[in-house]
Amino acid sequence: MLKIEHLTKIYDNGVRALQDVSFEVPDGQFLVIIGLSGSGKSTLLRCINRLIEPTEGRIIWNDTDITDATDEELRQIRRKIGMIFQQFNLVRRAPVVTNVLAGRLGYTNPLVEPRQPLLRRGQAQGPGKT
């Protein structure tokens, strides 16, 4: 469960990108955030993994207060969050699923043969337990 409570972000230049945003995402729910350019979508996502610091409000993920996490706790939390940036670090000739799974490479041992290949050619499937 992800809980966003009264989240506000005011950038240093005074732009109020988020104003008192609250919502909950239960486990298993798929949420899409749609809004005009500049409406604050990226700001919200960056606050959730604390790439930027919220001005006010709390972000609770599975009973852990992300807004209150230490650097070490944040490192552990971020290992469980996938984030794809819209402008860079994408391999354009690879499909979306390969770009997404590339983020797991840092947590797998390339010398150990996986019991099952993550992806077979032309067959998209979930990342499995890694």
Ligand X SMILES: Nc1ncnc2c1ncn2[C@@H]1O[C@H](COP(=O)(O)OP(=O)(O)OP(=O)(O)O)[C@@H](O)[C@H]1O
**Residues that bind ligand X in the complex, under the rule CB under 6 A:** 11, 13, 15, 17, 35, 37-43
Q: Please give the residues from 10 up to 49 whose contact with Mg ion meets the rule CB under 5 A.
A: 42
Judged by beta carbon distances under 5 to 8 A according to partner kind, the member of ligand X, Mg ion, none in contact with residue 117 is: none
Q: Round to whole Å and give the CA distance between 9 and 40.
A: 9
Nearest CA to 81 out of 55, 113, 56, 107 is that of: 107
Question: By C-beta, is 17 or 48 nearer to ligand X?
Answer: 17
Question: By C-beta, is 44 or 101 nearer to ligand X?
Answer: 44
Are the C-beta atoms of 48 and 5 separated by less than 8 Å? Answer: no
Please report how close the Cβ of residue 81 comes to ligand X at its closest, in angstroms.
17
Nearest CA to 69 out of 83, 50, 88 is that of: 50
Please report how close the Cβ of residue 59 comes to Mg ion at its closest, in angstroms.
18
Q: Which DSSP letter does residue 62 get? A: T
Question: By C-beta, is 21 or 101 nearer to ligand X?
Answer: 21
Question: By C-beta, is 17 or 21 nearer to ligand X?
Answer: 17
Please report how close the Cβ of residue 44 comes to Mg ion at its closest, in angstroms.
9
Q: Round to whole Å and give the CA distance between 70 and 20.
A: 24
Helix and strand counts by DSSP (H, E) for the chain: 3, 4
Judged by beta carbon distances under 5 to 8 A according to partner kind, the member of ligand X, Mg ion, none in contact with residue 43 is: ligand X
